[in-house]
Structure 1
Amino acid sequence: MSGVAGDDPRDPAGETKLTFPESWQVESSDGLSASVMFISGLIMVTRNRYLAWPSLLLSINSVINQHPLRTKEGGNSPISTVILGVSALLASYLPLVMIGPQKQVPLPVPEAQ
Protein backbone atom coordinates (compact mmCIF):
# COMPACT_ATOMS: atom_id res chain seq x y z
CA MET A 1 0.00 0.00 0.00
CA SER A 2 1.20 3.41 -0.81
CA GLY A 3 0.77 5.90 1.93
CA VAL A 4 -0.08 8.88 -0.29
CA ALA A 5 -2.52 11.24 1.42
CA GLY A 6 -5.74 11.95 -0.48
CA ASP A 7 -5.42 8.77 -2.53
CA ASP A 8 -8.46 7.11 -0.96
CA PRO A 9 -11.68 7.87 -2.96
CA ARG A 10 -13.77 7.15 0.13
CA ASP A 11 -12.14 9.96 2.08
CA PRO A 12 -14.87 12.47 3.09
CA ALA A 13 -12.38 15.34 2.91
CA GLY A 14 -12.30 15.03 -0.88
CA GLU A 15 -16.05 15.53 -1.30
CA THR A 16 -17.39 18.50 -3.22
CA LYS A 17 -20.91 19.81 -3.51
CA LEU A 18 -22.82 18.68 -6.62
CA THR A 19 -23.40 21.58 -8.99
CA PHE A 20 -25.15 21.33 -12.33
CA PRO A 21 -23.67 23.15 -15.33
CA GLU A 22 -25.29 26.36 -16.41
CA SER A 23 -27.52 26.06 -19.43
CA TRP A 24 -26.78 27.93 -22.64
CA GLN A 25 -30.20 29.44 -23.01
CA VAL A 26 -30.34 32.40 -25.32
CA GLU A 27 -33.16 34.82 -24.68
CA SER A 28 -33.30 36.02 -28.28
CA SER A 29 -35.29 34.16 -30.92
CA ASP A 30 -33.70 32.29 -33.79
CA GLY A 31 -33.50 34.79 -36.65
CA LEU A 32 -33.12 32.18 -39.39
CA SER A 33 -36.15 30.22 -38.24
CA ALA A 34 -38.27 33.34 -37.97
CA SER A 35 -37.27 34.52 -41.45
CA VAL A 36 -38.00 31.09 -42.93
CA MET A 37 -41.45 31.14 -41.34
CA PHE A 38 -42.09 34.62 -42.77
CA ILE A 39 -40.91 33.61 -46.25
CA SER A 40 -43.01 30.42 -46.12
CA GLY A 41 -46.10 32.46 -45.28
CA LEU A 42 -45.27 34.84 -48.12
CA ILE A 43 -44.93 31.87 -50.51
CA MET A 44 -48.34 30.57 -49.51
CA VAL A 45 -49.92 33.94 -50.21
CA THR A 46 -48.12 34.75 -53.46
CA ARG A 47 -47.69 31.14 -54.71
CA ASN A 48 -44.15 31.93 -55.82
CA ARG A 49 -42.65 28.54 -56.65
CA TYR A 50 -39.10 29.88 -56.98
CA LEU A 51 -38.88 30.91 -53.33
CA ALA A 52 -40.32 27.65 -52.02
CA TRP A 53 -37.20 25.56 -52.60
CA PRO A 54 -34.71 27.86 -50.81
CA SER A 55 -37.21 28.19 -47.97
CA LEU A 56 -37.36 24.41 -47.62
CA LEU A 57 -33.56 24.15 -47.66
CA LEU A 58 -33.22 26.87 -45.01
CA SER A 59 -35.78 25.14 -42.80
CA ILE A 60 -33.82 21.88 -43.06
CA ASN A 61 -30.71 23.89 -42.19
CA SER A 62 -32.40 25.17 -39.04
CA VAL A 63 -33.14 21.58 -37.97
CA ILE A 64 -29.54 20.52 -38.58
CA ASN A 65 -28.15 23.49 -36.65
CA GLN A 66 -30.50 23.31 -33.68
CA HIS A 67 -29.05 23.32 -30.18
CA PRO A 68 -31.56 21.81 -27.75
CA LEU A 69 -29.81 23.26 -24.71
CA ARG A 70 -29.86 26.76 -26.19
CA THR A 71 -33.55 26.97 -27.01
CA LYS A 72 -36.04 28.70 -24.79
CA GLU A 73 -38.96 26.84 -23.29
CA GLY A 74 -41.95 27.25 -25.60
CA GLY A 75 -39.89 28.60 -28.50
CA ASN A 76 -40.49 27.72 -32.12
CA SER A 77 -39.54 24.16 -32.86
CA PRO A 78 -37.35 23.60 -35.93
CA ILE A 79 -39.66 20.73 -36.89
CA SER A 80 -42.55 23.16 -37.22
CA THR A 81 -40.37 25.27 -39.51
CA VAL A 82 -39.76 22.25 -41.76
CA ILE A 83 -43.47 21.42 -41.80
CA LEU A 84 -44.23 25.02 -42.76
CA GLY A 85 -41.59 24.89 -45.52
CA VAL A 86 -43.06 21.67 -46.94
CA SER A 87 -46.59 23.06 -46.79
CA ALA A 88 -45.42 26.22 -48.59
CA LEU A 89 -43.91 24.04 -51.30
CA LEU A 90 -47.15 22.08 -51.60
CA ALA A 91 -49.24 25.25 -51.65
CA SER A 92 -47.15 26.68 -54.48
CA TYR A 93 -47.26 23.54 -56.65
CA LEU A 94 -50.79 22.36 -55.84
CA PRO A 95 -52.56 24.68 -58.33
CA LEU A 96 -50.50 23.17 -61.15
CA VAL A 97 -51.74 19.70 -60.25
CA MET A 98 -55.32 20.55 -59.37
CA ILE A 99 -56.12 22.97 -62.21
CA GLY A 100 -53.88 21.61 -64.95
CA PRO A 101 -53.67 22.99 -68.47
CA GLN A 102 -56.80 24.41 -70.02
CA LYS A 103 -58.31 22.32 -72.81
CA GLN A 104 -59.05 24.08 -76.06
CA VAL A 105 -62.73 23.94 -76.84
CA PRO A 106 -63.51 24.44 -80.55
CA LEU A 107 -65.68 27.44 -81.22
CA PRO A 108 -68.99 26.70 -82.90
CA VAL A 109 -68.97 27.62 -86.55
CA PRO A 110 -71.89 29.94 -87.44
CA GLU A 111 -74.16 28.42 -90.03
CA ALA A 112 -74.45 30.21 -93.34
CA GLN A 113 -78.01 31.18 -94.34
Structure 2
Amino acid sequence: MSNTAGDDPRDPSAETKFTFPETWQADASDGLSASVMFISGLIMVTRNRFLAWPSLVLSINSVINQHPLRTKEGGNSPFSTLLLAVCALIASYLPLVLVNPSRTQMPLPVQ
Protein backbone atom coordinates (compact mmCIF):
# COMPACT_ATOMS: atom_id res chain seq x y z
CA MET A 1 0.00 0.00 0.00
CA SER A 2 2.14 2.77 -1.20
CA ASN A 3 0.73 6.27 -1.47
CA THR A 4 1.92 8.51 -4.21
CA ALA A 5 2.16 12.24 -3.61
CA GLY A 6 -1.00 13.00 -5.65
CA ASP A 7 -3.22 10.46 -3.90
CA ASP A 8 -2.75 11.63 -0.31
CA PRO A 9 -5.84 13.64 0.83
CA ARG A 10 -3.81 15.21 3.65
CA ASP A 11 -1.37 16.81 1.23
CA PRO A 12 -1.31 20.59 1.98
CA SER A 13 -0.55 21.42 -1.65
CA ALA A 14 -3.98 20.09 -2.67
CA GLU A 15 -5.86 22.58 -0.44
CA THR A 16 -8.06 25.24 -2.00
CA LYS A 17 -9.67 28.28 -0.44
CA PHE A 18 -13.37 27.87 0.40
CA THR A 19 -15.59 30.28 -1.53
CA PHE A 20 -19.34 30.51 -1.89
CA PRO A 21 -20.86 30.34 -5.37
CA GLU A 22 -21.44 33.73 -6.96
CA THR A 23 -25.20 33.18 -7.24
CA TRP A 24 -25.75 32.98 -3.47
CA GLN A 25 -26.77 36.16 -1.75
CA ALA A 26 -27.47 37.07 1.83
CA ASP A 27 -30.83 36.09 3.29
CA ALA A 28 -33.39 38.76 2.52
CA SER A 29 -37.08 38.97 3.16
CA ASP A 30 -39.39 39.17 0.18
CA GLY A 31 -40.97 42.63 0.37
CA LEU A 32 -43.43 41.93 -2.44
CA SER A 33 -44.77 38.84 -0.71
CA ALA A 34 -45.23 40.71 2.57
CA SER A 35 -47.05 43.58 0.87
CA VAL A 36 -49.33 41.16 -1.03
CA MET A 37 -50.22 39.47 2.27
CA PHE A 38 -51.07 42.88 3.77
CA ILE A 39 -53.20 43.83 0.75
CA SER A 40 -54.97 40.44 0.83
CA GLY A 41 -55.88 41.00 4.47
CA LEU A 42 -57.11 44.47 3.59
CA ILE A 43 -59.27 43.02 0.81
CA MET A 44 -60.89 40.57 3.21
CA VAL A 45 -61.75 43.38 5.61
CA THR A 46 -62.96 45.95 3.08
CA ARG A 47 -64.38 43.50 0.47
CA ASN A 48 -62.79 45.56 -2.28
CA ARG A 49 -63.08 43.42 -5.42
CA PHE A 50 -60.89 45.73 -7.50
CA LEU A 51 -57.78 45.09 -5.40
CA ALA A 52 -58.28 41.32 -5.32
CA TRP A 53 -57.20 40.68 -8.91
CA PRO A 54 -53.87 42.57 -8.77
CA SER A 55 -53.17 40.88 -5.44
CA LEU A 56 -53.71 37.48 -7.08
CA VAL A 57 -51.44 38.37 -10.00
CA LEU A 58 -48.68 39.61 -7.68
CA SER A 59 -48.91 36.48 -5.54
CA ILE A 60 -48.58 34.29 -8.66
CA ASN A 61 -45.55 36.42 -9.56
CA SER A 62 -44.03 35.77 -6.15
CA VAL A 63 -44.55 31.99 -6.56
CA ILE A 64 -42.91 32.03 -9.99
CA ASN A 65 -39.96 34.13 -8.84
CA GLN A 66 -39.24 32.35 -5.58
CA HIS A 67 -35.62 31.57 -4.69
CA PRO A 68 -35.50 28.80 -2.08
CA LEU A 69 -31.83 29.37 -1.30
CA ARG A 70 -32.35 33.07 -0.65
CA THR A 71 -35.34 32.93 1.68
CA LYS A 72 -35.12 33.03 5.43
CA GLU A 73 -36.09 29.93 7.34
CA GLY A 74 -39.01 31.62 9.13
CA GLY A 75 -40.08 33.76 6.17
CA ASN A 76 -43.41 33.76 4.42
CA SER A 77 -43.88 31.02 1.88
CA PRO A 78 -45.00 32.18 -1.56
CA PHE A 79 -47.61 29.42 -1.54
CA SER A 80 -49.19 30.81 1.63
CA THR A 81 -49.28 34.22 -0.06
CA LEU A 82 -51.01 32.66 -3.08
CA LEU A 83 -53.51 30.85 -0.85
CA LEU A 84 -54.30 34.07 1.03
CA ALA A 85 -54.80 35.97 -2.24
CA VAL A 86 -57.20 33.30 -3.53
CA CYS A 87 -59.12 33.40 -0.23
CA ALA A 88 -59.30 37.20 -0.46
CA LEU A 89 -60.67 36.93 -3.99
CA ILE A 90 -63.31 34.44 -2.85
CA ALA A 91 -64.20 36.55 0.19
CA SER A 92 -64.66 39.65 -1.95
CA TYR A 93 -67.00 37.95 -4.44
CA LEU A 94 -68.88 35.76 -1.97
CA PRO A 95 -71.42 38.46 -0.93
CA LEU A 96 -72.47 38.84 -4.57
CA VAL A 97 -73.45 35.17 -4.68
CA LEU A 98 -74.87 34.66 -1.20
CA VAL A 99 -76.70 37.93 -0.51
CA ASN A 100 -79.97 38.24 -2.36
CA PRO A 101 -80.94 41.93 -2.82
CA SER A 102 -84.66 41.19 -2.75
CA ARG A 103 -84.41 39.52 0.67
CA THR A 104 -82.39 42.29 2.25
CA GLN A 105 -85.12 44.90 1.82
CA MET A 106 -87.70 44.92 4.56
CA PRO A 107 -91.32 45.00 3.41
CA LEU A 108 -93.24 48.15 4.21
CA PRO A 109 -95.81 47.78 6.96
CA VAL A 110 -99.45 47.84 5.85
CA GLN A 111 -101.40 50.83 7.23
Q: Give the TM-score, by structure 2 length.
A: 0.74
In 1, the alpha carbon distance for the partners of 2:80 and 2:15 equals 43
In 2, the alpha carbon distance for the partners of 1:17 and 1:25 equals 23
Q: Give the TM-score, by structure 1 length.
A: 0.72
2:6 to 8, 11, 17: 11
Give the 5 Å matches for 1:20-31: 21=20, 23-26=24-27, 28-31=28-31
Instruction: Provide the aligned C-alpha RMSD in A.
Output: 2.8
Aligned CA distance change for structure 1 residues 35 and 105 (closer, same or farther; 3 Å): closer
In 1, the alpha carbon distance for the partners of 2:100 and 2:66 equals 39
Give the 5 Å matches for 1:31-110: 31-102=31-102
Structure of greater Rg: 1
Which 5+ residue runs of structure 2 have no aligned equivalent?
Answer: none
Give the paired residue count.
Answer: 100
Q: CA deviation at 1:15?
A: 4.2
Which 5+ residue runs of structure 1 have no aligned equivalent?
Answer: 1-9
Aligned CA distance change for structure 1 residues 76 and 109 (closer, same or farther; 3 Å): closer
3-state DSSP of counterpart to 1:79: helix
Partner of 1:5: none
Contact 1:41–1:88, Cα closer than 8 Å, also in 2: yes
Using the aligned pairs only, state the percent identity. Answer: 67
In 2, the alpha carbon distance for the partners of 1:34 and 1:101 equals 36
